[in-house]
Copies of this chain bind each other. A is one copy, B any other.
Amino acid sequence: MKINGWIALAMTPVIWACSGDGSTPEGSPASEQAFVLAPAPPMGFNTWNRFACDVSEELVRGIADAMVESGMRDAGYEYLVIDDCWQVERGPDGVIVADPERFPSGIEALADYVHGRGLKFGLYTDAGSKTCQGRPGSLDYEEVDAATYAAWGVDYVKLDWCYADTLNAPVQYRKFREALDGTDRDIVLSICEWGRNLPWEWAPEVGQLWRTTGDIWDSWQSVLWILEANNRHHEVAGPGHWNDPDMLEVGNGGMTLEEYRSHFSLWAIMAAPLMAGNDLREMTPEIRDILTNADVIAVDQDPLGVQGKVVLDRGYGFQVWAKPLADGSVAVALLNLRDSEIEGYVSWHLLGLDPGEARVRDLWTGEESSHTDDGSWDARLRAPVPGHGVVMLRVTPVAG
């Protein structure tokens, strides 16, 4: 048995397939750095989806503690990122000043606390003159801000695109990347211009992840639209540089558990950054079980680094998504977009596998079984899929 078709893609240094105007040659320090910063999709937590502007050092410390105590850190969630509204103004020296009421101990002390819990620390800013919430942006302060963040111990910067309409996105994001490179710290750059300026063409050379769509919201409709939009750029992703379909809404209350499992499963199939966005201090066990499912996270973080894609869409609300993995197995999601249960199916042919026997693990139930697909239609693997739900499998060919 062998995997057909996928390997060529996986072995291609996909970063160089991009048509941006970057001049970084293959094997240069910049490309090695990009790889080292995000060999797998970044995982962590970001304040925005649940807390918006209601951020404070108390909240961040509580989240850091919760990441450790809930098992999120051990499951792989590494970055704790404060989104918009931590900053209020620039000082006379141009250095950005954190909100003194909400962050009385200062950002550096907070970063120390986060680091002390075995986590990494991230901040939000904006490439334009202001952030989306009207706080000072980084335009014309790129070097000052990069140096400030590095001095504070920042490991991750999310760079937004409000108040930036007249700017050139590749130029501006590259400028910030160069400012980060001028510091003595390795800092992940998260590019957030919402897919407006064809980032898939230039962002792989500039940041570790780039948004492909407008903001997610806590609704099944949003998940569906983002799935389709993000899937279109699957060829561009790879170790060091990832499409970002936006942060997770799992646990925020707007979807059913079935829908949250689908959301999380498909983000994993798409090798998406997994940034939790719920209140980790008061998760239900069901939500924690979704976010910390080791089998699903392993699909997301697989070292082959291929973004899975739709391999079959019958046009009536049933899709098969697949992601080849480093050990020769294939992760599969049978996705039911309809409201009621349907019978899903998948053939080894669809997965690029030769006919024969394979071990099949259901990543949500943990059940293991064996299935033989000899290539005939009747021999395909079938399973009921609940409405808005997935059956997520790992199919491992049995050598023979």
Q: Is the CB of B312 within 8 A of A195?
A: yes
Q: Which of B316, B350, B378 has a CB less than 8 Å from the CB of A165?
A: B378
Q: Is the CB of B166 within 8 A of A225?
A: no
Measured in the bound complex, the distance between the Cα atoms of B313 and A198 in whole Å is: 10
A304 is an interface residue with CB less than 8 A from chain B: no
Interface residues contributed by chain A, number (CB under 8 Å): 34
Q: Is the CB of A216 within 8 A of B378?
A: no
Q: Is the CB of A314 within 8 A of B377?
A: no
Report the minimum CB–CB distance from A374 to chain B (whole Å): 11
Q: Which residue of B lies closest to A350 (CB)?
A: B198
Q: Which residue of B lies closest to A313 (CB)?
A: B229
Report the minimum CB–CB distance from A9 to chain B (whole Å): 13
Which residues of A line the B interface, CB within 8 A? 165-166, 194-196, 198, 212-216, 221-222, 225-226, 228-230, 232, 245-246, 310, 312-317, 337, 349-350, 376-378
Q: Is the CB of B315 within 8 A of A195?
A: yes
Report the minimum CB–CB distance from A201 to chain B (whole Å): 10
Report the minimum CB–CB distance from A186 to chain B (whole Å): 30
Q: Is the CB of A165 within 8 A of B377?
A: yes
Other A-B pairs beyond A228-B228, A228-B313, A232-B313, 14, CB < 8 Å: A165-B378, A194-B314, A194-B315, A195-B312, A195-B313, A196-B314, A196-B377, A198-B349, A213-B316, A214-B314, A225-B316, A226-B315, A229-B313, A229-B315
Of residues A166, A212, A216, A312, which shows the largest number of chain B Cβ atoms within 10 Å of its Cβ? Answer: A312
